[in-house]
Amino acid sequence: MGRMNTARLPATAPAASPWPERLARWHLPPPQLLRLYLWIWAPIALVHMVAVETDGRLVQTFDLLSGVISVLRNLGPQFCLLLLLWPLTGWMERRRLGAFSQLAIHLLMALSFAVICYASLWLLMVLQYGFASAEKARGNWFIWMIQWGAMMYAVAAGGFMAWRAVERARRETAAAEEARSLLARSELAALRNKLNPHFLFNTLHSLLALVRKDAQRAESALFTFSEMLRYLLDTERSGDDQVQLRDELAFTEQYLELEALRLGDRLQVQWQVDEEALSHSLPALSLQPLVENSIKHAFNPRSEPGVLRVHIESLPQRLRITVADDGPGATLPAGAAFPPGTGLGLPTVARRLALRWGTAARFTVRTAPGAGFEVQMELPR
């Protein structure tokens, strides 16, 4: 076994963490929530300052410094303690606690918050005014201040939990969108992988036979074939599965031109295309698999000529695409979307339309033994 060569990169100092990442590491609220928290507390502090310092007297007696000290003493402990609810709600979210467990924890914490908050206020009053004054104040406001503390806890806990719920819903929505995008790209890749080997084999055999008979026609067919492969590569490189209908239609026409080399007069195509619909966007490889399904089931098994109809119609706010053949048809079980043995193409196209537009897109199959096969797509514009 050969020895692997490795190169050691020079060590670099770790980059400083951005401010939001630091807050997250310290289990503090994000900057947007911190700003909202401060804005909510600002009017509460202002009202408290005015109410305490004026105390029914004229506003001219207002002492700003004394008011600030009063706010810090009375509201400071609440402001700091309620911030601890952010890591607490995060812990409960990570543990996936049930509603009863969360309610029990919040009831216990609400009582603890009120007791701790106003015990600290009582202690500050003892240090500033003495024990007797603190006891007199406690007798006046202890019960209603405990109730006020419980209400403040409930508001803060509800706000933090609501913020987390909104952020969680936003993350889940983003994850779902990313999953749908990844699934759409994987479905498109599956269609490419299905088309390339199967179609390549048939087309190369047709071209080999044509080279011996008509070199000029074989050269034209090779050019058509290269344009088809370019379309597939372009949709893969762009990373976007949406294309204009005119491009998808050109790709499908090229596909049928090459299939006509093999099928000859057995393949008769009738086109009915509304020019206004050509600029409409749709998922790449949405039309060609419908046509390929008819080629496979209606034209390959039989030797007599058949008709393939492609009808593209621009409706108000919608685009309707119909692909139908006069082949043997199939049995469509009651309640089933596709006949048995349909394969990968049609279900994949239907899933991709559902991923893109949901129930606003329609994909309908109509068939019966001896009645041909018809597929109709309706897409929002």
- b/e map of 189-201 (b: 16 or more CB within 10 Å)? eebeebbeeebee
Q: Are residues 172 and 250 in the same domain?
A: no
Residues whose CB falls within 8 Å of the CB of residue 338, separated by 6 or more in sequence, listed in order: 332, 346, 347, 365
Angle at 171 between CA 168 and CA 174, to 5 degrees: 150
Query: CB–CB of 242/284 below 8 Å?
Result: yes
Number of domains in the chain: 2
Side chain identity, residue 14: P
Instruction: Say what the pTM is.
Output: 0.52
Residue 319 falls inside a structural domain: yes
Q: Are residues 189 and 163 in the same domain?
A: no
Q: Are residues 195 and 152 in the same domain?
A: no
Dihedral sign from CA coordinates of 296, 298, 302, 305: negative
Bridge partners (DSSP) listed for residue 376: 322, 364
Q: Are residues 233 and 197 in the same domain?
A: yes
Query: Domain containing 30: what range?
Result: 22-176
How much is the pLDDT for 55?
52
DSSP state of 267: E
- Mean pLDDT, rounded, for 26-44: 76
Q: Are residues 101 and 194 in the same domain?
A: no
Residues whose CB falls within 8 Å of the CB of residue 218, separated by 6 or more in sequence, listed in order: 207, 210, 211
Tell me which of 130, 154, 176 is where a domain ends: 176
How much is the pLDDT for 249?
93
Query: pLDDT tens digit string along 5-19?
Result: 333 333 333 444 454
Tell me which of 116, 146, 176 is where a domain ends: 176
Task: Measure the CA–CA gap between 197 and 229, rounded to whole angstroms.
Answer: 12
Query: CB–CB of 349/290 below 8 Å?
Result: yes
What's the pLDDT band for 322 if we cut at 50, 70, 90? very high
- Which CATH number characterizes residue 258's domain? 3.30.565.10
Question: Among the ranges 25-34, 122-131, 158-167, which has the highest mean pLDDT value?
Answer: 158-167
What's the pLDDT band for 4 if we cut at 50, 70, 90? very low
Confidence check: pLDDT of 168 > 60: yes
Q: Are residues 228 and 370 in the same domain?
A: yes
Query: pLDDT tens digit string along 99-139?
Result: 888 888 888 888 888 777 777 777 777 776 777 776 766 66
Tell me which of 154, 176, 198 is where a domain ends: 176
How much is the pLDDT for 324?
94
Residue 109 falls inside a structural domain: yes
Task: Measure the CA–CA gap between 347 and 358, rounded to whole angstroms.
Answer: 15
Confidence check: pLDDT of 141 > 60: yes
Residue 2 falls inside a structural domain: no
